[in-house]
Chain A
């Protein structure tokens, strides 16, 4: 008997119904199938069925040279390619002991933060759609378009950048790209306030988000959640600060954390992260050092035997790459730690007991990218 049913219907027999949400469904943010069992409107159990987007990235990595790993990582979390590239490049550099020029460090942070805002903008747009709002989506795409424009000006691509490589980055910032970034920064804070007023400031939305999909501190940690999902539960863990890479040890930024771990907290943490990311972009563009952007490296990298783990703070959490080298031109083992996979586990835990109407909203609130879940 579901707790929501009124007393006098206690003896009415209710059957259970199975809903397949996905795999081709706009609110699954890619290809994800959720098998949801409901009792009326209430969800009894939820199971995520994966495998629709598996491309064997890890296995392919074992047959690619170290230089080629970033190309594969781009296709994992396709919304934040720079971060995937960076994690694999960091792992290779650590294995081989490569010294990266300082300017490349700064450019990695700069592009990483621009990519973070672009990724969060895509999340913001689709999340509101899950809540039944449409208008804000086009405004979030306006801002995302400006960011993709910048990324295209620097890297030549809009999504699969192939920009960060072992040893540095492939191209310097051009004058055009720099002016585009400055133009973006002039309006972004005001735009973000506008977004916040329109969606987060709406009382109807707040009523739907507060107290829904709560993950407490302990279960968030035991589930292995990272990123905004973990910070919303009150754990101030951020790879950029706790295990600094690129230029983050020299940059100033705040780490927003939530208190209750509900959908509203996750929303607010992500919005504030965009503001902090813009702050980092501003510092990077002001403090960019001079010099080369790529270390001198041989055509084929042959790290000596050993293994390493490198991680970065992607928009979705701790994105890690575990590399095992055997002294040849290709890695023996290449593992990709995808933060979205852990978010799906959390999703399976928080869905039972909520209403079917909230299912789409909760899928949106943990911000998953099936591309990296299934690799």
Chain B
């Protein structure tokens, strides 16, 4: 198979994965919210509420896309793509198992973060093109929030890089196989609990997913960019945000919870069930994120800035220094 065909296949596999993943997440959220909100109607449309999700998808696909007057046509049309494509590309380096991954990158961890940090660019471009002050204020908030959260998010995984000495997500997972003193899995979640705490807090702030359909009718201008978009352009924005929830959860699983590996399970068995284990772990985290997010009130923008810049970043820097000292003292030679 030539290289071009192979990469085209990989890319389309990733696209299918992202789109299907969006549908699965909507289904999950509908069921969860249906139970939490006493809105059980959605659970009964078809077996387990499958038809509800199908209707959601069909609606987005079949709606007429309207474009408000006075917008900058080109930027308006490109912006949803500029938001969607990075969250699609972010799947590239995620290792679903030892062998199953779209591409193997030496700097996988850095690559995923770098790609995700492009998203705010599309958001701000779309809001400027929308020519609406509401969209602008909303987008400014989204961008400010993303900045305040993605810096501590990146800092929180640095201790893992310092210990493993690699940015390759696969190698980070391999480092976590086996057991500590025969009882505890060698997951970084245990020794690096503060890192996990910072990661979770920053991720919760960064992921603004309350309820899927509330997105468009927020009381404040928080809906941001999406306010002036309709039909599948709106759908792209939504899928991208869902995709980001998945990517962040997958990163947490890879970095802190041993990725596709399972403790107490023989290695040859692990390679065959790897992707399933990885998906189960990731969806569990996604569930926890969405669950937490849906019961919490919205934090005001300046409070969130305070949390990000004044607490999470200093805390992670102090923690990085502590871990650095321990690593240097106990494992001389592993850190260059």
Contacts and interface: CB of A to CB of B under 8 A. Distances in A.
Contacts of A26: 217, 219
A343 B120 CA distance: 39
A133 interface: yes
Contacts of B299: 204, 208
B164 interface: no
Contacts of A199: 297
B36 interface: yes
User: 10 closest A-B pairs (Cβ-Cβ)?
Assistant: A132-B298, A27-B219, A360-B219, A138-B37, A131-B297, A205-B297, A133-B297, A138-B38, A357-B300, A132-B297
Contacts of A358: 300
Nearest to A206: B297
B133 A17 contact: yes
Contact of A139 (B38, B221, B222): B38
A109 to B, nearest CB: 31
A133 B137 contact: no
Contact of A208 (B38, B295, B300): B300
B220 A359 contact: yes
B166 interface: no
Given A128-B297, A138-B38, A356 B137 contact: yes
5 contacts: A128-B297, A132-B298, A137-B37, A208-B299, A356-B220
Given A27-B220, A135-B36, A355 B300 contact: yes
A38 to B, nearest CB: 8
Given A135-B294, A135-B295, A204-B299, A130 B219 contact: yes
Given A134-B211, A138-B39, A355 B302 contact: yes
Interface string A21-32: 000011100000
A41 interface: yes
A4 B299 CA distance: 18
B331 interface: no
A202 interface: yes
A217 interface: no
Contacts of B210: 132, 134
Nearest to B218: A132
Contacts of B211: 134
Contact of B134 (A19, A129, A131, A142): A19
Contacts of B218: 132
Give the contact-size bracket for chain B. Answer: 20 to 34
Contacts of B38: 138-139, 142
Given A138-B39, A207-B303, A355-B302, A133 B296 contact: yes
Nearest to A137: B37
Interface residues of A, number: 33
A130 B300 CA distance: 12
Contacts of A128: 297
A207 B303 CA distance: 9
Interface of B: 36-39, 133-134, 137, 210-211, 214, 217-222, 294-303
Contacts of B214: 134
B295 A133 contact: yes
Contact of B296 (A4, A138, A202): A202
A138 B134 CA distance: 28
A135 B297 contact: no
Nearest to A360: B219
Contacts of A130: 219
Given A198-B295, A359-B220, 9 more contacts: A4-B302, A19-B134, A129-B219, A131-B297, A132-B298, A135-B294, A204-B299, A356-B220, A357-B301
B297 A357 contact: no
A137 B38 CA distance: 10
Nearest to B220: A360
A152 B275 CA distance: 56
A208 B38 CA distance: 27
Contacts of A129: 219
Contacts of B37: 134-135, 137-138
